[in-house]
Amino acid sequence: MAAKKQIVELIALQCTECKRRNYSTSKNRKTMQEKLELSKYCKWCKKHTPHKETKIK
């Protein structure tokens, strides 16, 4: 049997200023094809910064 690709994908959110991966979440690939970008709190920068989607290794 062939493995089925999962619709829900696990992703990490990386700070755009310090480049650290602070958060992990999931997203539905069918409803959101574009990369996710959220404003989240970075504890290393000590402020709210934009976080972009990256892959979990």
Cβ burial, residue 35 (10 Å; 0-12/13-18/19+): exposed
Q: Is residue 2 part of a domain?
A: no
pLDDT at 11: 96
Q: How confident is the model at residue 3 (pLDDT cuts 50, 70, 90)?
A: low
- Give the chain's domain count: 1
Residue 38: which CATH number? 2.20.28.120
How many CB atoms are closer than 10 A to CB 42?
Answer: 20
Q: Is residue 19 part of a domain?
A: yes
Q: Is residue 31 part of a domain?
A: yes
Q: Is residue 3 part of a domain?
A: no
Q: Is residue 21 part of a domain?
A: yes
48 sits in which H/E element:
strand 47-55
**Placement of tokens 């690939």 in the chain:** 29
Residue 39 belongs to domain spanning: 8-55
Q: How many CA atoms lie within 13 A of 16 on its CB side?
A: 11
Per-residue pLDDT at 13 exceeds 90? yes
Q: Is residue 47 part of a domain?
A: yes
Q: What's the predicted TM-score (pTM) here?
A: 0.81
Q: What is the pLDDT of residues 17-56, one digit of tens each?
A: 999 999 999 999 899 999 999 999 999 999 999 999 999 9
Q: How confident is the model at residue 7 (pLDDT cuts 50, 70, 90)?
A: confident
Return the bridge partners of 11, or none: 25, 55
